[in-house]
Amino acid sequence: MENKNKWWKNAVVYQIYPKSFQDSDGDGIGDIPGIISRLDYLKKLGIDAIWLSPVYRSPQDDNGYDISDYQDIEPMFGTMEDMEQLFAEAKKRGIRIMMDLVLNHTSDEHRWFLEAKKSKDNPYHDYYVWRDGEEGVYPNDMNSVFGGPAWEWVPELGQYYFHQFSVKQPDLNWENPKVRRELYDMILWWMEKGAGGFRLDVIDQIAKEPDLKITNNGPKLHEFLRELSRETFQKGDMITVGEAWGATPEIAKKYSNPDGSEFSMVFQFEHIMLDQEEGKEKWDTIPLNLVKLKKCLAKWQNTLYQTGWNSLFMNNHDLPRIVSRWGNDGKYRKESAKMLATMLHGMQGTPYIYQGEELGMTNVQFDSIEEYEDIETLNMYKERLKKGYQPEEILHSIYARSRDNARTPMQWSSEKNGGFTTGEPWFAVNPNYIRINAKEALEDENSVFYYYQKLIQLRKENPVFVDGKFDLLLPEDEKIFAYTRTDEHTKMLVCTNFTDEEVSCPLLDEWKDGEVWIRNYEDGREGNILRPYEAVIIGTAVNIVKAGYFPSDGATEGAQQRYQLSVRGGERDE
């Protein structure tokens, strides 16, 4: 199944963290009926698919990424009937639902594992990774991602089981064809229910070889992934994205091969690590080096051009809010939120918007550690206190990096609790909901929301966003991020100022006859000065006479008008 002209190349995906999106019943926890009630809002934004963080039945040891039943819904989120209604209501609005799948491990409360622990002869025993041993003598010195040994002793079996993450998340044994078949049948069941795609959690870990201390990118990884795709995704028109922290551009070519043999694309995280002090933890931050960011993103753009496909993101449920991270969440909050969106959406790949990003939602700063929820954050606080760090110093790192920044409830209005719930929210709402909320944004024609809406529309109307070749400009400039995208008919310039000062940009003189497609300041401006956090996309036509091109086949009226303007610009250039 070729990936050449797939719908998801034009698509924009919106991630929902269900617990924090919209509560419908006043219990303080977001739920599926709450999501259904906000579908018209998402339709207005213009998105094509929702990536839904896990809603399966789960003890919630790891925020639902510990699944105890793949084919049931966690009661705090609703029922299977609610899920079926979400599929149906989203479909009416032209929105697909991407399920978040965890295929590397299950919960230790999954029936497979409960059976596996009963005896070595149990048919489910080999669904997991076991090693013989004696108590206190681990098979090797591997540690889990969440700390402590990656092996857990089960005295009644005289064996250890392997867990890369929480002790309550035993790893599945992908070497067992029965395990793979069970997972494939489950995926096909969800496809039959109406799932429009899948995000695959830590999928680069499934081909582990713990005896060799190999977790990600194991020797059989791509063999397993090709079988997975062949047996499931290729039987429907799915969008699939694999989470792969260990991906390089060359490996990503395999994941997103245009022949459709694995996934549509992968999430890679190289750019997201650039403001972390080298060799230290994520809490140890350094200022973003723009030159490094440009080179990193350019490498991914150029390596995957016509050989794979990028995912474009700066936020998700595990990352701090980008406007607080790389923008200016004070004086220039709106301008910098729009600038960052422009930089990202102009590149080749499928853009992902995390809930609230389209409002310019910011990081939160609570006064004490008692107000935080995230287990990773709480553990780090305790560890750093023991190491002698001052509480204020640790809180400063939490303000910059905690996953809780992304998990404060969605800010719908200036009403109590931001309109998220009529009850007591499971986690405090960011106090700035009074001025940053969806109701305010929808009433302001110059809001971040409407800017995102226009960026999404531009992508749908202009093939250059999907197919155009990327060329980085001014690679050594420490303030301006600029690049062009060029296809057979159109060339566009994306030019952004990453600073809070005015910057001279001679590129704007060269492009003065082009048409401004979008700009994040309300008034137009002549000359070559970029204002603080200013961003602009300028388009022009190329090879018009030679190509004899007119965008009539299914093009929108906006695309027709833009074509006419760009032709006139092209004639002036001649």
Active site residues: 201, 243
| CA gap 497, 508 in Å, rounded | 12
| CA gap 272, 512 in Å, rounded | 34
CA distances to 127, 224, 373, 382 from 234, rounded to whole Å, are 25, 14, 39, 47
* H or E element in which residue 241 lies: strand 239-243
Altogether, the residues listed in the chain come to a count of 574
- Residue 194 has a CB neighbour count (10 Å cut-off) of 16
Sign of CA dihedral 457, 458, 461, 464: negative
Closest CA relative to residue 251, chosen from 275, 218, 227, 279: 218
In one-letter notation, the amino acid at residue 385 is L
| CA gap 490, 551 in Å, rounded | 11
- Residue 402 has a CB neighbour count (10 Å cut-off) of 25
Contacts of 384 (CB under 8 A, 6+ apart): 283, 393, 394, 397
Contacts of 164 (CB under 8 A, 6+ apart): 104, 105, 144, 145, 150, 171, 202, 205, 208, 215
Backbone angles phi, psi at 533, to 5 degrees: 55, 25
CA distances to 71, 94, 107, 521 from 56, rounded to whole Å, are 7, 24, 11, 43
Instruction: Point out which residues pair with 299 in neighbouring strands.
Output: none
Sign of CA dihedral 343, 298, 215, 378: negative
Cα-to-chain-centroid distance, residue 364: 20
